Structure 1
């Protein structure tokens, strides 16, 4: 017996569709301003507003609990570029010096067991994120309910079982799908990169943000996370079509 393709029915006024449309408008503002500031002022404040208070109370995360910062992090090009620029002064020199070594470890471990590419994020200093206010969606929406399992994941990633609240999973899905759909509609690539190898290219080019705003690829050698086209997945396609027709 053959099974047909399930086509999701998405309401045009659903929360994720509204977010996608809203982000799309702000991308135009960023393009007109020649700066990513309008985009991420809107996006990151929206994530903060919509993070449930009980989730923050329930999460086992806290200062210097940086075990989740040892793994591979997916991020779109604008997320990486915004992180690099930081609050205006850019990343600390010590962080910039640490990026190539981490990028090499990610490259050498790509396609192998996760353990072979684990290492502290180059943006960490003394267990704290030096770009915390500019961290990407994946970092903002990673919330564990058991820090001991996170610690275990750094030495036994295939054995650790990290409990995560469904509200955190949903929060990441909403804003990841919405941002990438809005980028695609605006003429930009929705591709996600490995953060470390994207940072490696971003820190050596003073014009990387301008290059991206002009519609070009600022990370030609960075490791790419996504193997399928954004619209190949039925739910993403349905959401995209509900937002933009």
Structure 2
């Protein structure tokens, strides 16, 4: 298989950004915009990850281990709105199974929103989308979740329980996640859309509690701003994007 990253990370970044630019330009006013943008990001991640990990040892993550699901999850606005759509569409069916997903999101948001990465992990509170050890929105999980993979399941369990353990995280997963996520953010910024990273549950709660949050974001507003992560230097990151795309 051809490895586009072998041409250089900056070239790969620019190719991805130009593809995202085209999607935003062509679909911004269409109902499928959010889904199309997320699908493009997820497909780009999965396809390029397969190339980067060809012949490498298999990771231990197969969607059936929630050990890392006590970590802070950050997401772009399109990913947040995709999750909010999932919650709204499945709320009634999940309630019939005894799962109050909006209630879970509100509960975790009440004491975890604004937490740093270390503080969130220290809470050892599972993600609200975990049910019976499985992720309810696994196929729609954000890039942050896709890009966190370990070669050692037992080490992950020990680390999230507070032990000092080397979790042997997959470098290709982290690299591809970073390139795809940054290319998407750069394109959102170029289009005049809010391009920050948000704490997932806090941002989803905001989206669920507003009837027009998604449209306001498409129009250039930032209804998710209260859930923006504090350790996000927009000026520095924006300058990096400008340099890469010059």
TM-score, length-normalised on structure 1?
0.82
- Which of 44, 47, 56 aligns to 2:45? It is 47
SS at match of 1:89: helix
CA shift for structure 1 position 30: 3.0
Partner of 1:75: 75
Out of 78-87 and 138-147, give the one that drifted further. Answer: 78-87
CA distances 1:68-116 after superposition (whole Å, capped 9, x unpaired): 1111011111111111213982454421110111112313754874444
- Which of 24, 28, 53 aligns to 1:27? It is 24
Residues 120 and 168 (structure 1 numbering): CA distance in 2 closer, same or farther, change over 3 Å?
same
Out of 126-135 and 177-186, give the one that drifted further. Answer: 126-135
Partner of 2:4: none
Indicate the RMSD between aligned Cα atoms, in angstroms. 2.8
CA contact (8 A) 2:73 2:200 kept: yes
Count of residues paired in the alignment:
231
Q: Which ranges of structure 2 fall in alignment gaps of 5 or more residues?
A: 1-6
Partner of 2:59: 59
CA shift for structure 1 position 25: 1.2
- Structure 1 Cα separation of the partners of residues 72 and 55 of structure 2: 23
Residues 125 and 197 (structure 1 numbering): CA distance in 2 closer, same or farther, change over 3 Å?
same
CA distances 1:135-165 after superposition (whole Å, capped 9, x unpaired): 11111121111111211222217x3322122
Partner of 1:210: 215
2:12 is equivalent to residue 18 of structure 1: no
TM-score, length-normalised on structure 2?
0.82
